[in-house]
Structure 1
């Protein structure tokens, strides 16, 4: 279905090709998982399948990419639209209408599909993706996860033979991700859809993969059976890390496979000591906090305390009210109830003072970047916070991120943009730091680096709240977990206790070795050695 014939791609100004002499064939009806660290060329490879690279992105392509017999060299993306559907990392940037129903229908309108057939497909796709209740909602009012599902639905409704997905579950809660991937897998198995999917959260998708395409970063591509390629790849999801701890030569692709092997080998583990969130001074007190948008109650009378030096996970399904709670804490959303952060209510002071009390890094960190160079962004942050010149650059250095001062922020990787925004926010020396989905677009190595940054900030006395759907990151990086549902607080306690007791929010290590309460492969290594 998809063939790369001696394909090399070099972007303008690049010293070396992103892809070099790539030869491979992805068969019809395969679900091919593309893996690799940030910057190795995954998005370039995906874009070459429908001609976005190089027709839209520029650069030079040698060799030939063919999809269903059509060459991307002589067929531009619009010519391939009926064969290849593409969903990028940021769904909002790809929307062309205002409402959910219109967006799902738009692609079919461009292909000239008969209105009766189009209406039927819209209904079927809304049901498959579980978004029928959103049909008349404005796209701009949806959560990031809801927008992601609409973007995928808009592509599937046109019924292409190939679907290319770049980070399709990055904004989805665990149950929604499983539903979406289950729907896509059903189409793969029952109608022969070919899917090429890049995802950093491999623990969510490995079990569905027929083949894996690994980009080591030297321009080459290694392609083969999923279990074999994952055993040698330099991206290490939890099951791979678990296999290395236990000395397994082959990586199990699912929790079920790993659990069966662990049971067969009768691995003995000792429980770890109970996890206790750090006790400290209360720096934020919230009482009966409420946030409403017309008739929708997003935060329903929540009361919480947050302590200095702690890192807290805020979890729950899409639309549970997590982002609304964080924006209310930051003072940017109308709310009722009491908020006291270090003696200040951020809703009652000017923006500059509020920023000294609490800073929020939103889901799309780049929304806070608007100047043409990294140097100008850093200098502006120094001026706005009345800090000495060089303060923000020094924070970037402490975060361990080396950025070219003259680079445009849009040319940075997701992880680099996140680090830049975090440094800009930290220039105000806030008491409380709020991060909304900070691991979107980050590979495992970058998430480990972010984990270290948060540990350092907490050790320096900051209170950090991380809203996330990434259960593996929450398990590794936080000591306390709060779970919300429909605006209400439904769980609050030590991360190990909250996450291991939940089939939704349990990390894979916990699922494999339940009822022993383990969160991460590092804890597994400790439990094995203690045993």
Structure 2
């Protein structure tokens, strides 16, 4: 169905090729997971499938890419629309209509599908992705996760022969991600659709993949069975790391696989107290106190009389299904967003009653659409401006960026970076100011496991200095490894709040992979297990 014949590609001005001598043969009905570190070339590989690379990106392409026998060199991307459906990393950037129903129908209209068939497929797609209640909603009023499901639905409705998805579950809560992947699997198994998925949250997709395409970052692509390649590649989900720590053969690719090995490990860990997943720095002193916060948009109430206290030295993960009010709460706490009622106190002041520059000095916010905060022409300029605005030492922002996404070229325009690299840059810009309270909305979207660990260390450094961090996230593995506390929202109200292990281990939806494997033992991360297994035995009591 898809062939790459000695394909190489170099962006203009780049010191090395993004793709180098790639040879691939992907058959009909295969689900291929594309993996690799941030900036390794995953989006470039996906864009080459229908000719977006190089026609819309610029650069030099050598070799030949064909889909169903049609070569991308002789057919523009619009002539592949009936064959290849593509969903990019930024759903909002791809919308062309105003409402959910119109967006689902638009692609089919361009393919001249008859109205009766269009109506039937719209209804099927609404039900398949669980978004029927959003039918008439304006796209810009949806949460990031809801927008992502609509973007996927607009492509699914056209029934393409090839489906290309770039980070399709990055903004979805665990349950919504499972629903979307179930719909994709149905297309693969029942209709023979060929699917390529680039996904940093490999734990969600790996168990379903027929093949793994791993990009080590040197332009090449390693192609093989997931079980074979996972033995030695440097990006791997927690369940694989757990298998490596425990010495399991073959390595498990799913929680179900791991639980077959788990009884002996659970027996070894029974009675052992898990070491803390994070080093606690909490002082108990409130850094932010919110009381009776209500946020409403017209008659729709997003946050309902909510009380929340963030304490100095603590990282709090804010979780909940898509549309539960997480982003609305963050904007209300920062002071820039609407607040119908309630108060917020930080260092004796309410950010909502201060000038914008004064509010930012108390509470920093990185929104979901983080790239909107980038406005200069190069990465170097963005970093220098961040240092100047924050009165930080020159090079502070660049050093943070290197920790989050090493090797980002300083002369590149921010819009030419990958989604993960852009997010890392925005995070570095905001963290340079190190305000008393930092609010982060889905900060790990587009970040690989290594970048997330580096970012987690940065967050822990912030709270070690006495700050408080609130992270709205669907990334349960990141929350397990980074947060001291988890707060769960549902319909704008807090339904769970407590220590990370207590909240996550008791939730089937939000439990990390290690917790599912070792249940009922309260372990969260592979690092905890590794620490316990390598610790010297406790000395016997002296008689």
Instruction: Report the TM-score, using the length of structure 1 for normalisation.
Output: 0.95
Tell me which residue corresponds to 2:504.
499
1:309-335 Cα deviation digits (max 9, x unpaired): 111100000001111111000011221
Equivalence for 1:49: 49
Q: Which residue in the other structure is 2:95 paired with?
A: 95
Deviation at 1:113, TM superposition (A): 0.8
Distance 1:395 1:114 in 2: 54
Distance 2:440 2:222 in 1: 35
Mapped to 2, the partners of 1:415 and 1:191 lie a distance apart of 32
Partners of 1:529 and 1:424 lie apart in 2 by 38
Q: Tell me, in whole angstroms, the C-alpha distance in 2 between the residues paired with 1:311 and 1:248.
A: 33
Write the mapping of 1:112-123 to structure 2, written as runs, cut at 5 A. 112-123=112-123
1:72-121: per-residue Cα shift (whole Å, max 9, x none)?
12121111110110000001101111111111111111111111111111
Distance of 1:73 and 1:183 partners within structure 2: 32
| 1:322 counterpart residue number | 326
- What residue is the counterpart of 1:480 in the other structure? 485
Correspondences of 1:339-418 after superposition (within 5 Å): 339-381=344-386, 384=389, 387=391, 391=393, 393-397=395-399, 400-401=402-403, 404-418=409-423
Equivalent residue number for residue 303 of structure 2: 299
1:308 pairs with one of 291, 312, 318:
312
After TM superposition, give the deviation of residue 157 of structure 1 in Å.
0.7
Q: TM-score, normalised by structure 2?
A: 0.93
1:525 to 504, 522, 530: 530
Counterpart in 1 of 2:231?
231
Aligned partners of 1:439 and 1:447 also within 8 Å: yes
1:273 positional shift:
5.0
Secondary structure in 1 matching 2:206: helix
SS at match of 1:220: coil
Q: Is the 8 A contact 1:277 1:494 kept in 2?
A: no
- The 2-side partners of 1:332 and 1:319 are apart by 19
2:541 corresponds to: none
CA distance in 2, matches of 1:142, 1:392: 39
Shift of 1:399: 6.0
Which position in structure 2 is the counterpart of 1:285?
289
C-alpha RMSD of matched pairs (Å): 1.9
* CA-CA distance at 1:427 after TM superposition: 4.7
1:453 to 447, 450, 458: 458
Task: Report Cα offsets for 1:194-240 as digits up to 9, x if no partner.
Answer: 11110000001111111111111222211111211222222121122
Aligned to 2:540: none
Gaps of 5+ in 2: 538-543
Determine the structure 2 residue equivalent to 1:166: 166
Give the aligned length: 528
Cα displacement (A) at 1:369: 1.0
Instruction: Provide the C-alpha distance between the structure 2 equivalents of 1:11 and 1:416, rounded to a whole number of angstroms.
Output: 16
For structure 1, the residue ranges without an aligned partner over 5 or more in a row are none
Instruction: Report the Cα offset of residue 453 of structure 1.
Output: 0.5
